[in-house]
Amino acid sequence: MIKHPIIMGIINATPDSFFKESRTKTVQESIEKASQMILEGASIIDIGGQTTKPGSNQISADEELERVIPIITAVSKAFPETIISVDTFYSSVAKAAVENGASIVNDISGGEFDSQMIATVANLKVPYILMHIKGVPKTMQDNPQYENMTKEILDYFIEKINKCRLAGINDVIVDVGFGFGKTIEQNYQLLKSLSVFKMLDCPLLVGISRKGMIYKPLGINADDALNGTTVINTIALQNGANILRVHDVKKAVETVTLLNFYQQIDSNEGNSTRLSYFSKNICD
């Protein structure tokens, strides 16, 4: 179990991820970005080769392998103490990634897009990030409907976690899937009920960095959504998030540090001071 919130930094080996600053074009560029994130305090580097933004088209496993395996291999050799996660829904990519230095599989589909994924992860004996998605990236934002969203997603995780356990996956991390088949209003409803998912007794990952749920209500774009990301990350941490998946590691680390500091302050001492001041200056 994760005792204190940690940060996962994002590296996208793609030409079309929604936030261009997360993209890398070469292995060397990826190493440099990983180095910066590690220096800034990232505990995990998440490497993906396929954009899953709304409306995106799926690329093949072979193309994804070509994009991510050289980067995972190089980053793991350059930073052997750093935990690397592979962002993929293909079991073949997950297997190759772990064989070349990754130690977590981050699957947006919860095993729905590749029937061999859960068994593969179990055989690899690595932690599995289990995310909720409604639909597929191409069409997931086309009017997603829920009768009771929190209950439906909770039921989804109960079923999926049980399936993972039966397959032999010992470490499951839950990601409620902000932006994956949810409207802006539904995303905020999910944020408000985030603490409910602590009952699953799994670490809770939140990935809201620079997403539409932040920049669209503000009338800006992803490039200008850092401040909003910090605000929503703070709320997520207060509601139980254990891992923040972000583009901007330094700002997220600062958010965790200040919130931890705030939470460690003894509020009783403050109340005592205020009562003493009130008694001395008002009641006398």
From 211, 216, 251, 274, active-site residue: 211
Sequence letter at residue 59: I
From 245, 250, 251, 280, active-site residue: 245
Please, what's the b/e burial string for 37-66 (b: 16 or more CB within 10 A of its CB; e: otherwise)? Answer: bbebbbbbbbbbbbbbbbebebbebeebbe
For the question of residue 210 being annotated catalytic, the response is no
177 close to 147: Cβ distance less than 8 angstroms: no
- Give backbone dihedrals phi and psi of 79, rounded to 5 degrees, phi first: -135, 70
For residue 278, CA distances in Å to 84, 149, 270, 273 come to 54, 47, 12, 9
Sequence letter at residue 87: D
For the question of residue 211 being annotated catalytic, the response is yes
Annotated active-site positions, please? 211, 245
